[in-house]
């Protein structure tokens, strides 16, 4: 593997890994909080139905405890996502895949809007999904271009 291919592979791998981490981190909190809320409601209902049990005076939780990587991704998410998309665009541009770089740029913009540009959850999920799909299409296009060149000569 020559140097240009190695740099491209590293840029694209780090770029897609960062985008996936941001996406997982962004949706892990709402899903986790929803799951914790449902469990708390179920627990409170079951405690009320027990005779002689009281929920008053019990120790309260200080809030959900997040894994460190999710807390970091949520704190620095916009910066990580921006860096990830720039790495992907750079990797695709190094391989002279202008179309792939443009798809990655559009995918990154769509992904950023889906994660940080809207607060409407019904828009957030599908727009984020479309952004990730566009990033993967850019990578698949690069891979197909590489395979076509290898087959041609």
Report pLDDT digits (tens) over 84-93.
999 888 888 8
So what's the pLDDT on residue 134? 92
Give domain status of residue 81, yes or no: yes
Mean pLDDT in residue range 132-153: 72
Structural domain that includes position 36: 3-52+70-148
Give domain status of residue 113, yes or no: yes
Q: How many CB atoms lie within 10 A of CB 128?
A: 23
Contact present, 10 and 90 (Cβ < 8 Å):
no
Show the tokens assigned to 8.
């491209």
Max intra-chain CA distance, the chain? 81
Give domain status of residue 110, yes or no: yes
Contact present, 108 and 15 (Cβ < 8 Å):
no
Contacts of 116 (CB under 8 A, 6+ apart): 77, 78, 81
- Report how many domains make up the chain: 1
Whether the predicted model's global pTM rises above the 0.85 cut = no
So what's the pLDDT on residue 49? 53
Contact present, 16 and 139 (Cβ < 8 Å):
yes
Residue the block writes with tokens 């770029």? 15
Dump pLDDT digits (tens) for 18-69: 888 888 888 776 666 555 555 655 565 555 555 555 555 454 444 556 677 7
Give domain status of residue 63, yes or no: no
Give domain status of residue 61, yes or no: no
């Amino acid at each position: 593997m020559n140097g240009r291919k190695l740099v491209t592979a590293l840029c694209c791998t780090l770029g897609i890994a960062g985008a996936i981490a941001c996406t997982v981190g962004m949706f892990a909190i709402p899903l986790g909080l929803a799951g914790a809320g449902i469990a708390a409601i179920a627990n409170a209902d079951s405690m009320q139905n027990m005779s002689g049990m009281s929920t008053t005076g019990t120790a309260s939780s200080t809030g959900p405890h997040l894994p460190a990587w999710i807390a970091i991704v949520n704190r620095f998410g916009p910066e990580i996502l921006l860096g990830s998309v720039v790495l992907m665009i750079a990797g695709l541009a190094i391989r002279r895949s202008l179309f792939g770089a443009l798809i990655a740029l559009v995918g990154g913009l769509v992904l950023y809007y889906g994660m940080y540009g809207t607060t409407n959850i019904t828009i957030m999920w599908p727009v984020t999904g479309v952004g990730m799909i566009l990033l993967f299409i850019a990578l698949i296009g690069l891979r197909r271009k590489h395979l076509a060149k290898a087959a041609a000569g």
